[in-house]
Amino acid sequence: MAGETILVLNGPNLNLLGLREPEIYGTDTLADIEESCLERAAELEVKVDFRQTNHEGELVAWIQEARDTAAGIVINAASLSHTSIAILDALKFAGLPVIEVHLSNIFRRDPFRHVSYVSMAATGVICGLGAQGYLLALDALWRLIQAKSVSIAVVMGLFVVFFF
């Protein structure tokens, strides 16, 4: 498990955290969240590749790359969560465990925010817990990756027993 990479992806306008609607999104900046994620990753002995873009196609490309470079994805696709079938398709193709994060509780907001295409591909969803949601997502993803590694080791052990 040590050395695995978790890709943390952030969508449109998250570069404005700390300035944009702090009553909804809090006062933490994206740099603050990244720093917290890097600290937590060090505790978990995993690597974090933390990225942000305002462009849907760039997010899709990163997700596609993750299939070969990451053990899992934490994603806050922001407004693209509610509109992007392309991101949904890329997440499905990646075949990785995915934890979706929203800083605000999307179910206490505008009705159009209640539907997330990302959720259709996500292993789990964390919303409404602010910046803490990212750390919870890292913990959850780490456990999922660890459980998968143990399952693979057990299966391989069964094959060894079976053949010998």
Whether residue 25 lies in the annotated active site? yes
CATH number, domain of 23, equals 3.40.50.9100
Q: Nearest 5°: CA angle at 50, between 19 and 34? A: 50
% of the chain surpassing 90 pLDDT: 74
What whole-number distance in Å separates Cα of residue 17 and Cα of residue 50? 15
Considering its fold, how many domains does the chain have in total?
A: 1
Confidence of residue 113 (pLDDT cuts 50, 70, 90): confident
Listed residue (163, 39, 25) closest to 104, CA to CA: 25
Name the catalytic one among 25, 55, 82, 134: 25
pLDDT on residue 69: 97
Whether residue 117 lies in the annotated active site? no
Name the catalytic one among 55, 102, 114, 134: 102
Q: Show the domain range for 100.
A: 5-163
